[in-house]
Structure 1
Amino acid sequence: MGHFALSTDQTSRATESAKTAAELTTARQADLPTALIRYLWDGGSATVVVEALAAYQNEDGGFGHRLEPDIHAVASNPFAARVAMQYLRFLPDDSAPVMRTRLQEWLTTNQHQDGDWHFSTATKAGFMQPWFAAWEFPALNPACCVSGLAGSLGLVSDEMMARVSKLFDQKASLSQISNGGFYDLLPYVEYSLGVQLPNEYLDAIAASIIRRSEAGEFEDAEHFFTLATGGSAEITAKIPAELISRYCDQLIAEQGEDGGWPTPYDDAWRVWTTANAMMILARLSSA
């Protein structure tokens, strides 16, 4: 990540973690998390990852099928699209061209004039956790998360980004970055992947992450890294290297004896949290 990379010792421990992590996801028959871990840490095939991810893509090009575990409907939804794009960012640029094209078509077709991607009737008809059932659109999340990730993958158009930019101008504030919770800060972080945020926003994001770290507000290391390394390199560069290193040690230490990482959410999240932990460490090992 520019100014930080895993130490030799951290890399060695992370490599050992990957072995038991893959054993856990394999035992739970979680094909996509297993394929991701093996691809990142054991010379596995990107094609296998794409094939596993394809099981979550619908005919309309979007993603569903509980790729976002808290939304049970098969139908495509923006939060599942966000997860899919996070995985695609780890794959070679020339991988999954058909999947990418179909996803771009879904993003283009399903964006509302207000700049956001809403739940379809089919999605709302299925079970979702209460926080999603009460979601109000338009909102910076998912609009900025989806468009930022899509921008980093080259899946956007000028018209698409202009709509999101208008929404951002209406709803964004430095106060929200400084005083909001984790999920208030998330869309600013991920939006930075697709647009150049003003310096005052980048500074405020980094300062908020550092403050939350010092106050012990992150539930675990994964939540720290989602913000600290989940956006643009400019944000990560503003986080002290020693702080990132400390959270790397914490992330590795949080792995359970069975190879999986704990989660404050539903147990269905464990395989995904485990894959996310290994993705974070892989990103830092290749810095």
Structure 2
Amino acid sequence: MDIFNAGRDFVRREGRLVESRLFAAVFEEADAGGVVDALRGYQNADGGFGHGLEPDKRCPDSLALDVQVAFETLLTAGARDDEMVRRAVDWLDSIATPDGAVPLCGPVIEGYPRAEHMTEWTYEPGLNPTAGLVGQLHRFGFEHPWRDKAGAWCAAELAKGFPEDAHGMHVAMEFLEHTDDVDLDKVRDWLPKLNWYRADAADPEYGVTPLHLAPTPDSFWRGLFDDSQLEAHLDRLVADQQSDGGWTLTWEPPGTSSTLAYRGIVTIAALRTLKAYGRL
């Protein structure tokens, strides 16, 4: 099976419009403005994003998790729309704690289909997603009072210690790479202590892998991993492509549509990583 063409055909056949436009922008030199246009349908009047842009919940209301996905989609496409971003950050500021922290989701998701893991833990303001959102705004080079306030809160929280789960650590690392407070050895030593960190490429369970933390050879955190470890995970990524061309999931979204949507997201991510590491 031709890895790239099979993955492309899967996204074209099963992916949402937003992933189809993203694929075209990333791999086919299409105008990145098409990605912005596709994202407009997910942005609410209040400036936030919803409508299941992150497919593990089908809630139309604005949620910080959907803002995070919207920002990542823009950054991946190399797209820029300052008004779209400003409205979203203004919304984040409106729901934040006085210190700037925001929650992934809220109780509003309970009225809609959602994955089993989308429960009360997502209602608490925390480093996940606050640190990731601040890091994304730094990648945009987008200044905003909320970014500075939330960034100061993230720095204070991380001074107390690193998160205990791999998702929280992932977004903390997105924030840390835009600061002057990076200790690679300290981060490297902490990774094996994390819940849901999958260091072993042979481990079939759900988790965050070194390729999530260093998806390209020029990633800020590439130096945390040796070549043999990354090669093993790249081998696993190749092996995990399914006969339909897409990559599968290790968790259960709330329905068939959500599953296909998420498979489109992870398929594009897999192809980008394999291309970056010279595996296509």
**Cα distance in structure 1, aligned partners of 2:40 and 2:146:** 27
Q: Which amino acid aligns with 2:174?
A: E
What are the within-5 Å matches in structure 2 for residues 1-287 of structure 1? 16-92=2-78, 95-118=80-103, 119=105, 122-123=108-109, 125-135=111-121, 136-170=123-157, 173-174=160-161, 176=162, 180-193=164-177, 195-196=178-179, 198-200=181-183, 202-209=184-191, 212-214=198-200, 219=205, 223-229=209-215, 233-266=219-252, 267-268=259-260, 269-284=262-277
Q: CA deviation at 1:217?
A: 5.5
**Structure 1 residues not aligned, in runs of 5+:** 1-12
Hey, which of these two has a bigger chunk of helix by percent?
1
Q: CA deviation at 1:168?
A: 4.4
Q: CA deviation at 1:23?
A: 1.3
Aligned CA distance change for structure 1 residues 56 and 68 (closer, same or farther; 3 Å): same
Q: How high is the sequence identity, in percent, across the aligned residues?
A: 22
Deviations 1:2-28 (A, max 9, x none): xxxxxxxxxxx9xx4232212112222
**Cα distance in structure 1, aligned partners of 2:172 and 2:155:** 9
Number of residue pairs matched by the alignment:
264
Coordinate RMSD, CA, aligned = 3.1
Q: CA deviation at 1:255?
A: 0.9
Which residue number in structure 2 is paired with residue 9 of structure 1?
A: none
**Cα distance in structure 1, aligned partners of 2:238 and 2:50:** 30
Q: Which amino acid aligns with 1:279?
A: R
Do the aligned residues in 2 keep the contact of 1:22 with 1:38 (CA within 8 Å)?
A: no
Larger RCO (CA within 8 A; separation ≥ 6) = 1
Do the aligned residues in 1 keep the contact of 2:7 with 2:245 (CA within 8 Å)?
A: yes
Aligned CA distance change for structure 1 residues 124 and 165 (closer, same or farther; 3 Å): farther
**Cα distance in structure 1, aligned partners of 2:240 and 2:137:** 31
**Structure 2 residues not aligned, in runs of 5+:** 253-258
**Cα distance in structure 2, aligned partners of 1:197 and 1:38:** 36
Name the SS of the counterpart of 1:213 in structure 2: coil
Aligned CA distance change for structure 1 residues 221 and 18 (closer, same or farther; 3 Å): farther
Q: CA deviation at 1:166?
A: 2.5
Q: Which amino acid aligns with 2:35?
A: V
**Cα distance in structure 2, aligned partners of 1:17 and 1:152:** 30
Deviations 1:19-42 (A, max 9, x none): 221211222252222222222223
Aligned CA distance change for structure 1 residues 222 and 252 (closer, same or farther; 3 Å): farther
